[in-house]
Amino acid sequence: MEKKFEHIPVLLKECIEGLNIKENGIYVDGTLGGAGHSLEILKKLDNKGLLIGIDRDEDALNVAKERLKQYKNVIFVKDNHDNIDEILNNLNIEKVDGILLDLGVSSYQIDEKTRGFSYIGDAILDMRMDKEQKLSAKDVVNEYSNERLANIIYEYGEEKYARQIAKNICEYRKNKNIETTNELVNIIEKSIPAHVRYKDGHPAKRTFQAIRIEVNNELKPLYNTVITCINKLNIGGRLCIITFHSLEDRIVKQAYNNCLGKCTCPSDLPYCVCNKKKLGKLINKKPILPKDEETKYNTRSKSAKLRIFERN
């Protein structure tokens, strides 16, 4: 029986159009999730086309295999999309025609209470996308120093009250380990002044985001992953990346811009020495945002941004 894995693919139509799919091409869904995007890609491929679906979450892979079982031209890989170079090399695939990355946490991971991603309800602190990895949210919250916690919450969560939250976490854990999401939420709520506590949504939102990013190492490899993906594209191939917060989007935008071949030499130099190579072009200079209709039926799409790069 298929495990319940509700997933509404974000910016689906825009992604499929953005990939500009060739029916006999090779495509990579680097964040397979509930296979919503992959299903639509496969519908456009003929029997010579190929899809490689990558996910580090075993639950996601199992559901995707079930949902896509009618298709024979799909390869499932349990791994992190940051390892795309190695994954493709192991498959003896040099170049592909399109890559899709739908970054961040999936709806299923948030909704599945046992995973500990959500600040709503109570669960064991976990937040691991790959349940086989060692580092969990419980480790971060209970073992990181005050300073390290504060820096993570400030940098990855853009949380104004990061230092107070970190201080209170460290005070609490002197008596007992923080085991559950509810315990952590209560500490965070008490750390933020009452008059601004719910000003920008749930007070734990930014801290939970920060801890999740740290646990799953979502940002540090991202720039290099984007560059690697672009280098793995055939001429005319496209990279579509959906981001959900400014930290991700900033990195993707920077990586794209650095592949446009613009000279970065000081203006007073008589000739170029940076030798910047143009790898392609932006399909959309401004990010593609979900339409009002989509945000109404899928509220989690509200912060989504799609950026598309084409290899030359």
Domain 115-216 classification at class level: mainly alpha
Task: Identify the pLDDT of residue 1.
Answer: 37
Say if CB 280 and CB 308 are below 8 A apart. Answer: no
Name the burial class of residue 272, with classes exposed (0-12), middle (13-18) and buried (19+) by CB atoms within 10 angstroms of its CB.
exposed
Tens-digit pLDDT string for the chain (312 aa): 344 555 689 999 999 999 999 999 999 999 999 999 999 999 999 999 999 999 999 999 999 999 999 999 999 999 999 999 999 999 999 999 999 999 988 877 888 888 999 999 899 999 999 999 999 999 999 999 999 999 999 999 999 999 999 999 999 999 999 999 999 999 999 999 999 998 989 999 999 999 999 999 999 999 999 999 999 999 999 999 999 999 999 999 999 999 998 877 788 888 888 778 899 999 999 999 999 999 999 988 999 999 999 999
pLDDT for 124: 96
Planar angle of CA 68, 80, 259, nearest 5 degrees = 105
- Token couple for 306: 């799609």
Domain with CATH 1.10.150.170 in the chain: 115-216
Residue whose structure tokens are 């029916």: 23
Query: What three-state secondary structure class fits 170?
Result: helix
Place of tokens 């192991």: 90
Please tell me the predicted confidence (pLDDT) of residue 3: 47
Question: Cα separation of 252 and 255, whole Å?
Answer: 5
CATH 3.40.50.150 residue spans of the chain:
12-104+219-311
Q: What pLDDT sits at residue 4? A: 53
What does DSSP say about strands 233-243 and 26-29: parallel, antiparallel, or unpaired? unpaired
Single-letter amino acid, residue 228: T
Over the stretch 98-137, which tens digit does the pLDDT of each residue have?
A: 999 999 888 778 888 889 999 998 999 999 999 999 999 9
Q: Check residue 277 and give its pLDDT.
A: 86
CATH class of 12-104+219-311: alpha beta
- Give the pLDDT score at 6: 57
Alpha-carbon span 50 to 229, nearest angstrom: 17
Helix, strand and coil content of the chain, in percent to the nearest 5, comes to 40, 15, 45
